[in-house]
A and B are shown apart, each in its own frame.
Chain A
């Protein structure tokens, strides 16, 4: 069970991920992403939307698979800037690494 944290998405704005709630979970980014890996990056964006911090930290190492090719950001129909969200999540993961 993942417990939702209603304030998390706003906290993440500090880390540079400010459009995450525009994402409507279409999965285009996951389809275009060359990694073809378990719904990446949508899955991480979804955890961010819900504020499922534990899930993000559990899967944090996956964030470093990202090539920053920018394809997802180019194709996202909602301009949610998924590439930037991944970067933001990396910053968040680094900032919280020791504490977790």
Chain B
């Protein structure tokens, strides 16, 4: 003990480090001897105090840290607790509240990286080494200032479906200028393919017309249809998008052909969408300077494989969106629904087509993907359509074959009850015993039969004679791989874009200044897509509201005393523009020296690795700090 004390005097401490070790209510302390970790830390030179708490993130825990800072006992802080993604910001802000610089902070993860994966002495030993390393690093921390950049008061929304329209309008209402980029000639997205919106029965056309009208009428919003983002540069607050507007390949002629009534821009065209502007005659390129980007690129309907439930093999098998369209375009007052010239006396609707697929049971698609998720809207849409048919065409009997009925939201369970009142008959199948659609070989003049082991009939095999089979196809994310590559966005295993945190930050992406709205993130109905869109609008407004954005200062810094201007770092730099050689005067002589553009620097360290002079370093992660960490990890006596 006593000679440790002499150590402390002979090795001058760069900072007075306080180490705060958390029990996490047993999560950590059940496997790590927290008090032993504390004792070891107390022996490390440079450590002024080491303390423990049941929950360091609690108010008393934070207060303890703040007290030590305020009293001047410590000027560097190490917290050893859960993953930094959970509470790093908590502790940084506690440090700020104590009046200190939040970057004098270092985090050691002894929960996810220790107590949850190791047990016994080894757990304690690893915890000691990790906390000691953090302590060694903390000694060399210096106060930093976040990089502050002016933010452009402008948002670009990509995708003109209901979510994109909602985001654009909400932002314009906040006084933020908006550019809306839509790849097709139409606004409204997928709901233009629908007639009635479950569960309320609102006409889809009215909803699109109302919102698209508001968007087009708003002077703060510039709409670009037939447009795609081709290039992407910059950082939060200051992005530059290269956008290409081009006449649609085939659509020009089709557009005029679907225009028999001489439809003009500003009209809703059924099953196309809202037609906001004449299609550009020739390609055009534009550059958009913007502060925040909101992705609202939506979904596409699942297309069944050939032969999946007889699709594309039997003309009597169609998808739900196909049915909706045919019904809308051939409204009659007959007793029976008529589809493709055939009276439908009996029809089957099969749920979960292309959704909730199970590896080993369902075949993968040509790219090896399974849609393991529930598409969430098809149950309600199917029940709603069944209800419409039963009421308008009482001569048409309906059988719904489902795995589960998932009418999860307000007003949706009623659709299920209503379907029974409308005399829809339900049959239930197990995932591994999907129904089979077969040609009828009987003389009952129904062309098809749906064969199923019906759970509701005690597993008996049942055959339903039908004139029509409708497949309740689900959602798949639109292919936005170009945007994903350009913007370096995370994609979930389900191929939808992946938010930072499903509960706490549901519309944010980890790339600063890029947000999510609607079904590009996950299956949602229109109400949910609009909620997400409104949330994204608020997040964008918050980001821009202060007029500037702050970026983490963990970027490269050149030591001009050492730099000799070889330029090796510039060549190694991974982000063009982040590092340049510039002319400057040193000792009365014009020389070339490296210069960092902080806002563009990723802090990756590629430059540090190549500099022979050790003249460039990353703030908060210097080579010296790494060395100190490695030294203490391998030095057994420090951690004994």
Contacts and interface: CB of A to CB of B under 8 A. Distances in A.
A84 to B, nearest CB: 16
Contacts of B425: 4, 9, 21, 49-50
A8 to B, nearest CB: 10
A24 B426 contact: yes
Contact of B463 (A4, A9, A39, A78): A4
Contacts of B426: 24-25
A21 B463 CA distance: 18
Contact of B465 (A3, A10, A23, A47): A3
A56 to B, nearest CB: 12
Contacts of B465: 3-4, 6
A69 interface: no
Interface stretch (B152-160, B416-424, B516-524): B416-424
Interface residues of A toward B: which range? 20 to 34
Interface string B447-484: 00001001011101111110000000000000000000
Given A1-B463, A24-B426, A6 B458 contact: no
B346 interface: yes
A23 B427 CA distance: 12
B185 to A, nearest CB: 43
Nearest to A20: B423
Contacts of B454: 50
Contacts of A23: 420
Given A6-B346, A6-B397, A46-B456, A1 B423 contact: no
Most chain B beta carbons < 10 A, residue from A4, A7, A23, A46: A4
B420 A4 contact: no
A7 B345 CA distance: 9
Contacts of B20: none
A43 B397 CA distance: 22
A1 B461 CA distance: 5
B461 A2 contact: yes
Contact of A25 (B345, B346, B399, B456): B456
B345 A6 contact: yes
Nearest to A47: B457
Contacts of B423: 9-10, 21
A21 B424 contact: yes
Nearest to A3: B463
Contact of A21 (B420, B451, B461, B464): B420
A71 B379 CA distance: 33
Given A1-B460, A21-B425, 8 more contacts: A2-B461, A3-B463, A4-B425, A6-B399, A6-B464, A21-B423, A47-B457, A52-B457
15 contacts: A1-B461, A2-B460, A2-B461, A2-B463, A3-B463, A4-B465, A6-B397, A6-B399, A9-B423, A22-B421, A39-B458, A50-B427, A50-B454, A50-B462, A78-B420
> Ordered nearest first, which 9 A-B pairs have the shortest CB separation?
A6-B397, A6-B346, A4-B464, A21-B423, A25-B456, A1-B461, A22-B420, A2-B462, A3-B463
Interface of A: 1-4, 6-7, 9-10, 21-25, 39, 43, 46-47, 49-50, 52, 78
